Amino acid sequence: MIRIPLGHTGLEISRIGLGCMGMSSAYGDSDPESCLKTLDGALELGVNFFDTADIYGWGANEELIARFLPGRRERVVLATKCGITRGATPLEQGRDTSAAYIRRACEASLRRLGTDVIDLYYLHRLDGVTPLEESLGALADLIAEGKIRAAGLSEVSAATLRRAHGLLPIAAVQNEYSLATRGGETERVIDACREIGATFVPYSPISRGLLTGAYRDSAAFGKGDFRTVLPRFSDEALRANLRLVDAVAAIGARHGASAVQIALAWVLARAPHIAPIPGTRRLDRLQENVAAARVVLSADDLAALEAAVPIDAISGARYPAALDKPLG
Ligand SMILES: NC(=O)c1ccc[n+]([C@@H]2O[C@H](COP(=O)([O-])OP(=O)(O)OC[C@H]3O[C@@H](n4cnc5c(N)ncnc54)[C@H](OP(=O)(O)O)[C@@H]3O)[C@@H](O)[C@H]2O)c1
């Protein structure tokens, strides 16, 4: 697995990381023991960039990672996040990026993770109230105290990124980006990352499984699966979207690659400073996803993909209206 620099940090991350959210939340039940095997398998496959957040399973995901870290901490680049607060339901989440909250959240994450330093600490969402100077000042203090190594931002615009980087070096931006969700390009955040030397980390790079083509029936999502409320997985939208994904699969067939591998290879082909973090609980799927790094797409393939899934061609918003906020 190829490694690339993580922003200005001096750390190196695998070109494909592992999103751990689904191991404790969002997509239905999971078995922690088999997730631990997946985490272990990831390291063996050369994946060293692991992504979690305090809200995934309300601490459970960080506690799961804590079980995996002993004896492996030095080989792992560990990213977690704070800034989203618990509401009565997932659709009623709050936000807090005040200095006092960031400090409390970071110390709680360190305790749950059982480590004394977080390599990359993102503000998951800006709260829109706290001045950026205060939030980044809190991150600067945590860096000075050795509690975090570097700062990242999630779901931010190019303008906010540039302003933030003027206050504190930003190592990475984590925004949603995939063939199905093209804001990284249209909002020029990928370009802004390149300009300032930050890594762009696409989250949900296979659009929460949509681009695998494996999820063909919206009625099959169980209780507790976030996709039951996501507009692009509603019956009608899913039917329309699968026609596009099937076209991606057909392009994959030319390479002996699956739709998910082509979708990830497309993300990788966008720019060298991009490191997606597809999520999976399963080792066999991780192996499939990681193999995408070996798929080389020609200019013709890229043009065919562009034609198969043009910008804004996907039906249904990426989030329900209550969560579909503009970039911070
Ligand atoms: N910053 C943010 O606001 C934010 C928001 C969302 C996510 N994230 C991060 O980004 C990571 C990735 O995003 P994501 O998990 O939402 O979406 P994703 O990576 O686009 O898709 C994950 C879904 O696809 C399935 N899947 C993965 N590989 C597959 C394969 N080869 N074949 C069939 N199905 C496959 C997974 O199921 P199985 O587990 O059953 O394989 C899961 O349901 C998360 O884990 C999290 O760390 C960040």
**206 Cα: distance to centroid of ligand 1 (angstroms):** 7
* 208 pocket-lining for ligand 1 (C-beta < 6 Å): yes
Q: Residue 205 CA: which ligand 1 atom is closest?
A: 20
Give me the chain's average pLDDT, please. 95
The pick from 280, 283, 323, 324 for probing ligand 1's pocket by mutation, whose C-beta has the most ligand atoms within 8 angstroms, reads 280
The answer to whether residues 128 and 117 touch, using CB atoms and an 8 Å cutoff, is no
Q: Is 204 in the pocket of ligand 1 (CB under 6 A)?
A: yes
Cβ of 214 less than 6 Å from ligand 1: yes
215 is catalytic: no
Ligand 1 in reach of 23 Cβ (< 6 A): no
Which own/partner pairs from 216-219 qualify as long-range (CB within 8 Å, at least 24 positions apart)?
A: 216/242
* Summary count for the chain: helices (H), strands (E): 11, 11
Residue 90 has pLDDT above 80, yes or no: no
Is the beta carbon of 241 within 6 A of some atom in ligand 1?
A: no
pLDDT for 136 equals 98
With a 6 A CB cut-off, is 277 part of the ligand 1 pocket? yes
By alpha-carbon position, which residue is closest to atom 29 of ligand 1?
Answer: 285
CA angle 236, 155, 126 (to 5 degrees): 125
Share of the chain above pLDDT 90, in %: 90
pLDDT one-digit tens code per residue, 14-65: 999 999 999 999 998 899 999 999 999 999 999 999 999 999 999 999 999 9
Write the CA distances from 109 to 33, 80, 105, 127, 224, integer angstroms.
21, 8, 6, 19, 24
What is residue 275's predicted lDDT score, i.e. its pLDDT? 98
DSSP-assigned letter for residue 232: G
For 216, the 3-state DSSP assignment is: coil
The pLDDT tens digits of the residues spanning 181-218 come to 998 888 899 999 999 999 999 999 999 999 999 999 98
CA-based radius of gyration for the chain: 19
Of all protein residues, the one whose alpha carbon is nearest to atom 11 of ligand 1 is 19
Residue 223 has pLDDT above 90, yes or no: no
Mean pLDDT over 214-229 rounds to 90
pLDDT-derived band at 144, boundaries 50, 70, 90: very high
C-beta of 162 in contact with ligand 1 (< 6 A): no
Ligand 1 atom closest to the Cα of residue 289 is 31
Domains of the chain, earliest start first: 3-209+272-295 (3.20.20.100)
Confidence at residue 322, expressed as pLDDT on a 0 to 100 scale: 84
Which carries the bigger pLDDT value, residue 199 or residue 326? 199
Per-residue pLDDT tens digits for 273-310: 999 999 999 999 999 999 999 999 999 999 999 999 99
Stretch 137-144: mean pLDDT: 98
pLDDT over 90 (residue 224): no
Cα 21 to ligand 1 centroid, rounded to whole Å: 7
What pLDDT, on the 0 to 100 scale, is given for residue 130?
98
CA atoms of 314 and 258, how far apart (whole Å): 19
Residue 258 — very low, low, confident or very high, per pLDDT cuts 50/70/90?
very high
pLDDT score at 281: 97
pLDDT of residue 298: 95
Burial class for 144, CB neighbours closer than 10 Å (0-12, 13-18, 19+): exposed
> Can you tell me which atom of ligand 1 is nearest the CA of 285?
31
Distance CA 114, CA 232 (A): 37
Show the tokens assigned to 147: 């509690």
